[in-house]
Amino acid sequence: MSNVPDARQQEQEQDERQESFRRLLRSLPVWDTELPHFDPAAAPDDPLPLFQQWLSDAARAGTPEPHTMSLATVGATGRPSVRTVMLHDADERGWHFATHRTSRKGRELAARPEAALGFYWPAVGRQVRIQGTVTAADAAESRADLGKRSPGALAAALVGHQSEELSSYAELERASEAAWERARREPDAPVDSWTLYVLAADEVEFFQGDARRRHVRLVYRRTGPGSWTTGLLWP
């Protein structure tokens, strides 16, 4: 008798895997901790201080890497794409992040300078969504931003070729080895494609999860420079 599973056996195993995956999804808890209360009536007129407060709260509540965010851009055909990037700052100009201008997201932003950001901080049951127009900072500011980052961030940036096809992992290992070596020797090494971007928000939404699913959604909409209206949304 052969040990090779027949088609029916494979199908049965696949069904079992699928069922166990679904059971896992249904068993995962959400918002089973004490969540903070958020009173939208007490929210500031500008979304920035509230965002800074919420990120600090998330960090204090033990959210790992609360400064990571999803960045969604739009391609030439109108298809969205999303990935995770680090938040470098949030100030009156907007939300700052950095990447290679030549990467997929960099090319998409050059063609269509609009994007959306998403933060989720499970320890406090909070989500923030931001959308707006993206501007690339100049070379000097982009270089200064990279200069403030870790040697690992510089080495990663020096590797370059982001979003290009990679023929083998060994090729990356060789390039990375050389990049780490250069980052050690030359901590100010320039990376021409590395660009700081600033997203100037026209809409920012704060979502506070509630155990009874009476979530609070407060949306800020920009009406002019430095002026916003706010409203509540059904969850």
Q: Does 163 bind ligand FMN (CB under 6 A)?
A: yes
Element (H, E) at 229: strand 227-232
Q: Does 84 bind ligand FMN (CB under 6 A)?
A: yes
Q: Does 142 bind ligand FMN (CB under 6 A)?
A: no
Rounded Cα distance, 141 and 195, in Å: 8
H-state helical runs in the chain = 7-27, 47-60, 104-111, 139-147, 151-159, 169-185
Rounded Cα distance, 154 and 98, in Å: 12
98 or 124: CB nearest ligand FMN: 98
111 or 211: CB nearest ligand FMN: 111
Rounded Cα distance, 219 and 175, in Å: 45
35 or 74: CB nearest ligand FMN: 74
Binding letters toward ligand FMN, positions 53-82, x by CB under 6 A? ---------------x------------x-
Task: Give how far the C-alpha of residue 50 lies from the chain's centroid of Cα atoms, to the nearest Å.
Answer: 18
Rounded Cα distance, 149 and 97, in Å: 12
8 A C-beta contact, residue 157 and residue 143? no
Among 35, 85, 175, 189, binds ligand FMN (CB under 6 A): 85
Q: Does 195 bind ligand FMN (CB under 6 A)?
A: no
For residue 188, the minimal CB distance to ligand FMN (Å) is 20
- Span of 9-17, 38-46, 84-92, 175-183 interacting with ligand FMN by CB under 6 A: 84-92
Give CA separation, 17 vs 8, 20, 23, in Å: 14, 5, 10
Q: Does 105 bind ligand FMN (CB under 6 A)?
A: yes
For residue 88, the minimal CB distance to ligand FMN (Å) is 8
193 or 230: CB nearest ligand FMN: 193
SS3 content of the chain, % helix, strand, coil (to 5): 35, 30, 35
157 or 216: CB nearest ligand FMN: 157
| Sites of contact with ligand FMN (CB under 6 A) | 68, 81, 83-86, 97-99, 103-105, 162-163
